[in-house]
Each structure stands twice: as structure tokens, then as C-alpha cells.
């Protein structure tokens, strides 16, 4: 088997200073080429802390106390801040709820987007702008020509998030790390965005970690699911298996809650794993 793209080995995250229970405890996870893993769990389960640990974007009062995160074999702990920042714009594609903080406040949207194309693919300015505008349109941004001229502070939160998604798609990352990537988007745009990310994972031999509360998304897009509770992964299984025979009481609770709403049915087709 080829080397995993992303590995978490017994990751434990604690608050600095006091002796409270860890926010993440002994979390291990592996994403190989083509893997799309869904992370689900109740509010406060530790999903966002997990995402921020992978991106090395933990708040100052939290620290990785034990364990390791490896990207294509490289221990992220051995890298400096400049290298991490570079990775977050290339190999790692963060899609976070506070999208604006991920965007360079000094650059216009169009300049961020076209810089990638012009340096990597050596395309001319006009073509780069046309492609950037087209991509903005696919992530549901109307009037893309105008938005290319905007600075991050001029965007709404939802729009900044879509710009991040467009940038992520443009960078062809190895792994997309998405925390509630489609929260706040309307249903049609949700589908478009998720389809685009799924397409990218397939086309570029990438992988994706999707944190979501929406088990419908998990059923359609994720090959495997990790269920979190209290900072731990309490169950991890292929999606079909998890939906058909959930083992952990917390998984059963989550499934019961959505089935009551009629969102997910047994044996709903699952996106095929690569
Ligand atoms: N900087 C922090 N300092 C102290 N505790 C924190 C910090 N950030 C998160 N926590 C705590 O860690 C736990 C996990 O939080 P996290 O944000 O990861 O939950 P989540 O699973 O993403 O929830 P949600 O579904 O609401 O987004 C919570 O109890 C939260 O209060
Ligand atoms: Mg969260």
C-alpha cells in the first residue's frame, strides 16, 4: 500500500496550565489516497480541536501533549511556522468556519486566485482571471468579476468561505481539511461545493477530512466515518457498516436522531472509495 497522506498517531491535546481533562485523547486516524473520512459527533465533542490540531492552528492555550501528526510521512511538529503557513496554502487545504482569517487581508480575491495559476501553470493574466471568475461562479458566487476586485474584509462570512473553497480547489492540495464546509450555504451550492471537492480528491489522488453534523453528507460523500464523543473517537467504520450496524451507543443515538427527521435511510448509497 502506498504511504498514507495524513496520519494521526495517538494524538492528545490539553489545555496549558491547568489539569483539566484532555480535549482530545488518544486519537488515531489515517487517510490514504482517495479517502474521504467524515467526522461526526455532538457539539463540544472535539471535532474543531481535531481539525485545528491537524492544521497546527491550535489556540494559544491548547497544546499537543502527546502523539504525532504526519503529512506524507513528515511530522508536522518538526516544521517551523513559515513552512506550516506555506503548507496550509498548498498541500493542506483548510476550509474553516472563520474563513476570513485564512485569507490574506492585503490581497484582493482576484490576486490571490490568479497568483496560483500564473506561477504554477504559467498562464497569462487574462486567462487566469477568466478561470478564477469561472471557479467563483461554480462555488456559487454571483457577480464574480466584481468579487475578484474585493478585499477579504469586503466579503460576508459565507462568501469568504466560498472563496476559501475556490482557492483550495485551485491549489490542488493533497488533503482538504474541512470543518462544517457547507454550513450556511444553500442546498444547491452545498451540493456543488461537495461535488467539486469530491472530484478534486479523485482527480488529484488527494484525501479529505470532512467535519459535519449532516449525516446525509456523510452518507453521500464519505467512505468512512469517525464518531467522536468527549474528545475521543468512540467508533470508526466504513460508512455503510456504521449506518447498518452501529456499535457504540453514541453512534446509535446520532443515527436515531437523524432517522427521526427522515434525513438518512439504511443502506443509502455511499460514495465509492477509490
Ligand atoms: N481554546 C480552548 N480552550 C479551552 N477549551 C476549549 C478551547 N477550544 C475548545 N475548547 C473545548 O473543547 C471541547 C471541544 O470543542 P470543539 O470546538 O472541538 O467541539 P466541536 O466538536 O467542534 O463542537 P461543535 O459541533 O459545536 O462545533 C469543548 O468542550 C470546548 O469547550
Ligand atoms: Mg466545531
pLDDT in tens, 115-159: 888 887 788 889 999 999 998 988 889 899 999 999 999 998 778
Distance 222 CA to ligand 2 centre (A): 18
Is ligand 1 within 6 A of the CB of residue 4? Answer: no
pLDDT tens string 175-222 = 999 999 887 777 887 888 888 889 889 988 999 999 998 899 999 999
From 23, 24, 53, 232, give the residue whose CB has the most ligand 1 atoms within 8 Å, as the site to mutate.
23
Distance 47 CA to ligand 2 centre (A): 5
Is ligand 1 within 6 A of the CB of residue 16? Answer: no
Of 231, 264, 245, 209, give the one whose Cα is nearest residue 67.
Answer: 231
pLDDT tens string 100-127 = 877 889 999 999 999 888 887 788 889 9
Give the up-direction half-sphere exposure of residue 2: CA atoms within 13 A in the CB hemisphere: 11
Residue nearest to atom 25 of ligand 1 (CA): 43
Q: Which ligand is nearest to the CA of 39?
A: 1
**How much is the mean pLDDT over the chain?**
89
Q: Give domain limits for the chain.
A: 1-91+207-274
**Measured between alpha carbons, how far is 106 from 90 in angstroms, rounded to an integer?**
19
Residues 6 or more apart whose Cβ sits within 8 Å of residue 65 = 12, 13, 14, 22
Task: Give the three cell numbers for residue 149.
Answer: 476586485
**Measured between alpha carbons, how far is 188 from 127 in angstroms, rounded to an integer?**
27
CA–chain centroid gap for 221, Å, is: 13
Is ligand 1 within 6 A of the CB of residue 21? Answer: no
CATH number 3.60.20.30 is the correct assignment for the domain at 1-91+207-274: no
Residues 6 or more apart whose Cβ sits within 8 Å of residue 81 = none
Of 268, 240, 217, 177, give the one whose Cα is nearest residue 40.
Answer: 217
Residue 213 DSSP SS3: coil
**Measured between alpha carbons, how far is 1 from 33 in angstroms, rounded to an integer?**
10
pTM: 0.88
DSSP letter for 90, please.
T
Residue nearest to atom 1 of ligand 1 (CA): 59
Amino acid at each position: 500500500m502506498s504511504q498514507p497522506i495524513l496520519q494521526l498517531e495517538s494524538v492528545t491535546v490539553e489545555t496549558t496550565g491547568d489539569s483539566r481533562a484532555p480535549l482530545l485523547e488518544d486519537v488515531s486516524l489515517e487517510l490514504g489516497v482517495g479517502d474521504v473520512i467524515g467526522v461526526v459527533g455532538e457539539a463540544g465533542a472535539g471535532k474543531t480541536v481535531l481539525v485545528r490540531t491537524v492544521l497546527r492552528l491550535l489556540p494559544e492555550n491548547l497544546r499537543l501533549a502527546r502523539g504525532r501528526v504526519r503529512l506524507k510521512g513528515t511530522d508536522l511538529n518538526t516544521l517551523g511556522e513559515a513552512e506550516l503557513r506555506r503548507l496550509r496554502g498548498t498541500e493542506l487545504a483548510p476550509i474553516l468556519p472563520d474563513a476570513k482569517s485564512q485569507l490574506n487581508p492585503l490581497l484582493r480575491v482576484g490576486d490571490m486566485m490568479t497568483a496560483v495559476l500564473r506561477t504554477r501553470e504559467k498562464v497569462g493574466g487574462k486567462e487566469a482571471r477568466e478561470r478564477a471568475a469561472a471557479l467563483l461562479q461554480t462555488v456559487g458566487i454571483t457577480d464574480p468579476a466584481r468579487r475578484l476586485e474585493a478585499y477579504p474584509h469586503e466579503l460576508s462570512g459565507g462568501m469568504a468561505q466560498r472563496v476559501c473553497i475556490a482557492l483550495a480547489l485551485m491549489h490542488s492540495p493533497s488533503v482538504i481539511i474541512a470543518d462544517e464546509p457547507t454550513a450556511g450555504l444553500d442546498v444547491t451550492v452545498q451540493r456543488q461545493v461537495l461535488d467539486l471537492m469530491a472530484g478534486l480528491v479523485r482527480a488529484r489522488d488527494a484525501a479529505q477530512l470532512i467535519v459535519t453534523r449532516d449525516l446525509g453528507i456523510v452518507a453521500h460523500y464519505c467512505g468512512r466515518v469517525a464518531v467522536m464523543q468527549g474528545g475521543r473517537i468512540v467508533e470508526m467504520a466504513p460508512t455503510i457498516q456504521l449506518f447498518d450496524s452501529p456499535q457504540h451507543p453514541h453512534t446509535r443515538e446520532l443515527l436515531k436522531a437523524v432517522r427521526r427527521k427522515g434525513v438518512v435511510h439504511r443502506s443509502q448509497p455511499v460514495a465509492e472509495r477509490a
